[in-house]
Amino acid sequence: MSTIHLTVPGRVATMPERLTSGRAVGAKFRIASTERWFDRAAEAWNDAQPVYLTVTCWRQLAESVLVSLDTGDPVIVRGKLVNTGFERDGRSEVRLEVVADAIGPDLRWSTAVVTRTKAAAADAPPSGGAEEPVAVRRSDLPVAREHHREDAGHGVGVPAGEGAVRA
């Protein structure tokens, strides 16, 4: 059996929830990915049905997801596609999930300010004689959209544009 690795652009469809397994922290949420293309003959954009996938991640990635993502946020998820079996009402069912090893903002539809975690900063290579890094306050950066977790009340209607675009 071979492993399928994939990269899926989409929008966060459900608020990430915290998972725990022993000492490991995890996160689980759903994304919606919608292919969109322009029909030149009709001079109109067309949207396919969205594909919804459950995404799980663990450890530092999960911690970052839990503090960073809200419903509606445009993301790119990379990971391994797995069949998760479970039983419901006496029937065996299978659900496709993505076990993510990387998740980031889709910069086609948003902007981002990157803040390294303590673990990432510790693993960073030494500067090697380069200039000392200059601290930049978030308030000094240009902001295209203020992002507040209280603002998460916006609808989960998944806008098109997250998938491949055909001309």
Catalogue all structural domains in the chain, each as residue range(s) with its CATH number: 4-110 (2.40.50.140)
Q: What per-residue confidence (pLDDT) applies to 136? A: 44
83: nearest Cα among 95, 99, 67? 95
Spatial distance between the Cα atoms of 92 and 89, rounded to a whole number of angstroms: 8
Higher pLDDT, 147 or 19: 19
Burial of 98: CB neighbours in 10 Å, binned 0-12, 13-18, 19+? buried
CA distance 134 to 147: 24
Q: What is the pTM of this model?
A: 0.67
Judged against a pLDDT cut of 90, whether residue 75 lies above it is answered with yes
Distance between CA atoms of residues 53 and 13, nearest Å: 9
**139: pLDDT strictly greater than 60:** no
From 35-44, 54-63, 134-143, the region with the lowest mean pLDDT? 134-143
Q: Supply the pLDDT for residue 7.
A: 97
Q: Give the Cα separation of 104 and 53 in Å (integer).
A: 16
pLDDT at 132 over 60: no
pLDDT at residue 68 in the model: 93
Name the token pair of 118: 């303590």
Question: If pLDDT is split at 50, 70 and 90, which confidence band does 118 have?
Answer: confident
Question: pLDDT tens digits, residue range 78-87?
Answer: 999 998 888 8
For 80-96, what is the mean pLDDT?
88
Band of residue 138 on the pLDDT scale cut at 50, 70, 90: very low
State how far the Cα of 106 lies from the Cα of 75, in Å rounded to an integer. 5
- Is the predicted pLDDT of residue 145 greater than 80, yes or no? no
Q: How confident is the model at residue 104 (pLDDT cuts 50, 70, 90)?
A: very high
